Structure 1
Amino acid sequence: MSTDLPSRSRIVHEALRGAGIAGDIVVLPDAASTAALAAAALGVEVGAVANSLVFWSDGEPLLVMTSGAHRVDTARLAERLGRGEIRRATVEQVRAATGQVIGGVAPTGHPAPLRTVVDEGLATYERIWAAAGTPHTVFPLTFDELVRLTAGTVVAVV
């Protein structure tokens, strides 16, 4: 199955299997580079889509896995995490930190582990969906699997 995937998604697939996560990567016919597009393509609530947002804080990338129904309040998040200013990473910073493009950033499969925050709002969904390395690929997992996969800190992001 993984040989039919784009190369970036094959990396994600291997990372998922290595972490014991069994959900298969789904290739969508159209790009789903936003939570709303992914939710529509999958027939799920937008909140069940785990947006992978890369920010820059204290001189390093910060991956925020947030519910598609939420907008990250960066000032509050910085305060909760005890960090300096949190701002959106540039396109170049996202690519360097993740090896993936905006709209397709997966929670795993990066060149090096990223400090990750997981939105506590995702816990309300039995199954959530995340990008799998490209805007055309996604995969299902549980909230607990996402936290374990990313070694993320669970926190309110709104």
Structure 2
Amino acid sequence: MAAKKRQEGGGTPATVRLTTLGIAFVAHPYVHDPAAPSFGLEAAAALGVAPERVFKTLLADVDGTLVVGVVPVSTQLDLKAIAAAAGGKRAQMADPALAERKTGYVVGGISPIGQKTPLRTFVDESAGLWDTVFVSGGRRGFDLELRADDLLTVTSGAFADIAR
């Protein structure tokens, strides 16, 4: 019940997780346009941030196992690269309905942080070029800014060259 009350107060599983772990972040709400063709590019424009610094969260099926890929919104997830990073042979994008069920978030608002089912996470190595990066905060129109190393810590993730 306590977690639910915190969420009703404006928090998301992502912000609750970061707060619980004592990891510094800045919340960046913005007005989401349901007609926007790209959730990530919309976030970058609304926040006035370079698209290379705003990261989207994608789920891929690598040889039957779901993994998370976090890549700049200006790029695409390289399926061969994420398969290799995960020690697999083949990858394909996960079904959006499955991604929503496993993460507890809706497409366009899937955060790499605080997912319902913890999944192996790979963050594109370009995140390390920035002092801070932006990721979804767990709903459309809400991003979180944090250090890339803290993103790895909270997701138990690893850097990998997974964007193209």
* Fold-level similarity (TM above 0.5): yes
Report the alpha carbon displacement of residue 63 of structure 1 after superposing the two structures with TM: 0.6
Give the corresponding residue for 1:79. 84
Runs of 4+ in 1 over 6 A off after TM superposition: none
Counterpart-to-counterpart distance in 1, 2:95 and 2:111: 17
Instruction: Please tell me the root mean square deviation across aligned C-alpha atoms, in Å.
Output: 1.9
**Percent same amino acid at aligned positions?**
26
Counterpart-to-counterpart distance in 2, 1:155 and 1:98: 21
Give the corresponding residue for 2:52. 47
Give the corresponding residue for 1:136. 141
Q: Confirm whether residue 152 of structure 1 aligns to residue 157 of structure 2.
A: yes
Report the alpha carbon displacement of residue 2 of structure 1 after superposing the two structures with TM: 6.0
The alignment's TM-score, normalised by the length of structure 2, stands at 0.85
Report the alpha carbon displacement of residue 120 of structure 1 after superposing the two structures with TM: 0.1
CA contact (8 A) 1:61 1:97 kept: no
The alignment's TM-score, normalised by the length of structure 1, stands at 0.88
Give the corresponding residue for 1:28. 30
Give the corresponding residue for 2:3. none
Which deviations, in whole Å up to 9, do the C-alpha atoms of 1:68-117 show, x marking residues without a partner? 23222111331343213111111211111101111101111211211100
The unaligned stretches of length 5 or more in structure 2 are: 1-5
The unaligned stretches of length 5 or more in structure 1 are: none
Report the alpha carbon displacement of residue 24 of structure 1 after superposing the two structures with TM: 3.4
SS of the equivalent of 1:132 reads: strand
SS of the equivalent of 1:103 reads: coil
Counterpart-to-counterpart distance in 2, 1:19 and 1:139: 15
Answer with 63-72 or 136-145: which moved more. 63-72
Answer with 77-86 or 47-56: which moved more. 77-86
1:111-122 to structure 2, matched below 5 A, reads 111-122=116-127
Q: Which amino acid aligns with 1:82?
A: G
Give the aligned length. 155
CA contact (8 A) 1:25 1:139 kept: yes
